[in-house]
Chains A and B, each alone.
Chain A
Amino acid sequence: MEALRRFATRFSDWATIRDRPSALQSAVMSATCIALALFIWYIVTAGPVEERIVDPITLPSLADTVHSFPKLWFERALARGAIASLGRVLGGFILAAAIAVPLGICAGSFLRLNAFLRPISIFGRNIPIAALIPLTLMWFGLGELQKVMFIFFASVAFIFFDTVRSVEDVPDSYLDAAYTLGAKYVPRHGAKWAAIVGLGYAIVFGAAYYRLAQRPGPNDIELIAAWRIGFAQVSIFGLFLGFVLWFPPLAYQAIQKVLMPLAMPDVVNSLRLLFGLAFGYIMLAEVINADYGLGAIINLSQRQGPREHIYLSLILISLLAFGIDRGILTVQRWCFPYKRMGEQ
């Protein structure tokens, strides 16, 4: 009763610009929206098939949709599909972030490098994402590598751009303060830590190659040798890349101790938002060609039915994406207690 009274505050609150509702009120408003959507769905698909406002081919009834869940879970292996999709996005996204974040930090600090990379960044952000699918199919074939690389190309320019902007947004006065407090260039410190980070990159790149490159059969000695050489090359490339990308941010104290930590909350925040987008993009690749994964489930449901699965998958995907988003946000708040963010 008390809760209800608290909820029904004066109408003038509703018409007041930026009047903040209580947490309870917000929750009730959101719940009302969901209930309303479900209710409309229920109304337009209620009754026997012939009498429905919307026919079952356009929109299946709420009850049918809910009842088809066990089939989706067990026969279509929803959980396995979700994990597969998530793995692809994570693979491509981590690869993109591993390159674009340090490069963005460098470009945000050294503006000539930024001017040099700007054309690539603009190009990368403006190519239509869908056009990357035929391109990656051409370059990487039909396997897992194509999907990972699709996500990589779809997100790398955006991550780079957001990182540069976050670093540039740190006011000059912080840098001035750092310099007058003695921030300097310490190449030895930079080399040591960049080597350690490079080792991490080598391991990640090596693991990715191990996982994604087609391994030849045990009898094919020549191909196995080639595979091993590829493995070594990729690992060494990772070591080199990690070192080169991280040396400047770790050698300049003004970047390591000031620009990077002050930009980091913004960087992580935009990584969270971009990850949400990338998770949407993977469906695009999976709908077109995949044997398993969430996109494949939707595609299969559309072609072979039941159609209820499409709706159910869409709802579950957005719930999953929302869950991931909240998870990252919680970690973010814990890591950066001095910064309020993601109030949305």
Chain B
Amino acid sequence: MAGVATPLPPCSITEIPRGTPKEGVPPVVEFKGVTKTFNANTSKAFTAIRDVTFSVEDVEGHGEFVAILGPSGCGKSTVLRQIAGLAPHHPPTRGEVLLAGKPITGPGPDRGMVFQDYTSFDNRTVLDNVAFGLECRGIAQKERYELAKEWIAKVKLNPVKDAYKYPHQLSGGMRQRVAIARTLILKPRVILMDEPFGALDPATRHNMQDLLIELWREVQATVFFITHDVNEAVFLGDRCYIFSNSPGTIIHQFRISPPDRPARHIMREKSFLETVYHVREILDGLEEGKT
């Protein structure tokens, strides 16, 4: 892909040094020594993440795809929700979360989020769900329906038949398509995905991964993608962060070559499998380290 400094062979790994901010333009997202302690100053005080520092540069015409891996409960969702500006994870207890150089003050449509659990609005048809963000902006109905129909087609739903269905009439995969469409239609700078395909079966998952790559190329946003599936992380990611056990902090950063072919092809290649094996070693080591 254009913009990546050095072209890498498929699925190779290089450690990138921690915290090397570039001169000039501020990074899209930057964490500076971020610590989050829930119920601070009480007996129930619990530190979810400690001293998380990283920065993701805004590369011209190309958003990065950051995959986040780590043991369960290590604070991955906490990091993501801090970028989104959602309570109670936002604001951090210590440190700074910066978006394009400015501290994050709350949620906004410039940072779209796709959740693991289905959050389609039950009272709205697919069309109205996808058009929700445009409606909040005050865009006229005709215009927003036109755009919404385009996006319904882009996520491979049927703009004629599916548009007027309610969420309860859709399968899990279809609902996540709706969730992706309603987020991407707003053209956010940053897309946050918290195990969006966690509840889907493997075949649907592969389709969704290919779809996501395709759409991501189109919108060129910076994506943060949490997953428990190492295959998924290595396939989708340009860059991969691995978190330590709780309280989480980043212990490894890799750069991975971006996916250029469909998931089911790449996932059979030797270099891909080697990378996955390597990452899995690290994660298994972390799981063993748990008490």
Binding site for B on A (CB under 8 A): 173-174, 176-184, 186, 253, 257-258, 261-262, 264-265, 336-339
Contacts and interface: CB of A to CB of B under 8 A. Distances in A.
A265 B106 CA distance: 30
Given A176-B113, A179-B107, A182-B109, A258 B121 contact: yes
Given A180-B183, A181-B136, A183-B136, 11 more contacts: A176-B84, A176-B86, A179-B86, A179-B106, A180-B111, A180-B112, A181-B133, A181-B183, A257-B135, A261-B121, A264-B123
Closest 10 A-B residue pairs measured CB to CB?
A182-B109, A179-B107, A181-B133, A180-B113, A177-B119, A338-B166, A261-B123, A182-B136, A173-B119, A182-B133
B113 A338 contact: no
B76 to A, nearest CB: 16
Given A173-B117, A174-B121, A338 B167 contact: yes
Contacts of A264: 123
B228 to A, nearest CB: 19
Nearest to B188: A180
Interface in B70-97: 81, 84-86
Nearest to A261: B123
A257 B119 CA distance: 14
B181 to A, nearest CB: 11
A297 B20 CA distance: 87
A181 to B, nearest CB: 4
B108 interface: yes
Contacts of A181: 109, 112, 132-133, 136, 182-183, 186
B123 A338 contact: yes
Contacts of B133: 181-182
A117 B182 CA distance: 37
B284 interface: no
A100 to B, nearest CB: 22
B188 to A, nearest CB: 8
B123 A182 contact: no
Nearest to B169: A338
Interface string B256-281: 00000000000000000000000000
Contacts of B217: none
A338 B168 CA distance: 7
B38 interface: no
B122 interface: yes
A207 B142 CA distance: 39
B115 interface: yes
Contacts of A174: 119, 121
A184 B136 CA distance: 7
Pick the most buried of A179, A180, A257, A262: most chain B CB atoms within 10 A of its CB. Answer: A180
A180 B136 contact: no
5 contacts: A176-B115, A180-B86, A181-B132, A262-B122, A336-B123
Nearest to A253: B136
Contacts of B136: 178, 181-184, 253, 257
B290 interface: no
Nearest to B191: A180
Contacts of A180: 84, 86, 107-109, 111-113, 183, 192
A178 B84 CA distance: 12
Contacts of A177: 113, 115, 119, 121
A258 B117 CA distance: 17
Nearest to B84: A180
Contact of A182 (B108, B115, B119, B124): B108
B137 interface: yes
Given A184-B136, A257-B136, A176 B123 contact: no
B107 A176 contact: yes
A178 B115 CA distance: 12
A85 to B, nearest CB: 35
Nearest to A265: B123
Contacts of B121: 174, 177, 257-258, 261-262
A232 B204 CA distance: 64
A162 B133 CA distance: 30
A183 B132 CA distance: 9
A186 B136 CA distance: 9
Contacts of B106: 179
Contacts of B109: 180-182
Given A181-B112, A182-B186, A338-B166, A262 B123 contact: yes
A148 to B, nearest CB: 33
Contacts of B81: 176
A180 B81 CA distance: 10
B99 to A, nearest CB: 13
Contacts of B84: 176, 180
Contacts of B168: 338
Nearest to B109: A182
A183 B107 CA distance: 9
A180 B122 CA distance: 17
Nearest to B122: A338
Interface string B210-252: 0000000000000000000000000000000000000000000
Contacts of A336: 123
Interface string B173-191: 0000000001100100000
A339 B135 contact: no
Contacts of A183: 136
A125 B112 CA distance: 43
Contacts of B112: 180-181
